[in-house]
């Protein structure tokens, strides 16, 4: 991955992070029903994934699968910049731990 692509993905992560932070902050003073609470929990989980991806960008581990160590494809990272697993490992993970 070249520096331009890294910057593109970093900006995408930062934009999504800012949106999530704003969304979560807007929900602080409201009473949430079960569906809204589930959405907020997903938002928090995604925020943690984004923060982890930004740390990997800093330490040089970004774009490397956390399971098998291969490079994560650029198309996958563009679709899901916080991805920590290559597509094959992600598929195995989803079969093992279905949502």
Query: Total domain count for the chain?
Result: 1
Q: Is the dihedral of CA 66, 81, 2, 73 positive or negative?
A: positive
Query: For 39-88, how does the pLDDT look when each residue is reduced to its tens digit (9 = 90+)?
Result: 888 999 999 999 999 999 999 999 999 999 999 999 999 999 999 999 99
Query: Which CATH number do you get for residue 32?
Result: 1.20.120.910
Q: Phi, psi (5° rounding) for residue 71?
A: -70, 140
Provide the residue range defining the domain that includes 74.
3-96
Burial 81-98 (b: 16+ CB within 10 A, else e): bbbbbbeebbeeeeeeee
Kindly report the pTM of this predicted structure. 0.86
């Amino acid at each position: 991955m070249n520096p331009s692509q890294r910057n593109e993905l970093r900006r995408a992560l930062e934009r999504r992070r800012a949106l999530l932070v704003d969304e979560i902050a807007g929900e602080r003073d409201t009473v949430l029903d079960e569906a809204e609470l589930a959405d907020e929990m997903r938002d928090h989980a995604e925020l943690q994934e984004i923060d982890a991806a930004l740390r990997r960008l800093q330490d040089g581990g970004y774009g490397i699968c956390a399971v098998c160590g291969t490079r994560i494809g650029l198309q996958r990272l563009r679709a899901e910049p916080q991805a920590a697993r290559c597509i094959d490992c992600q598929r195995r993970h989803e079969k093992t731990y279905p949502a």
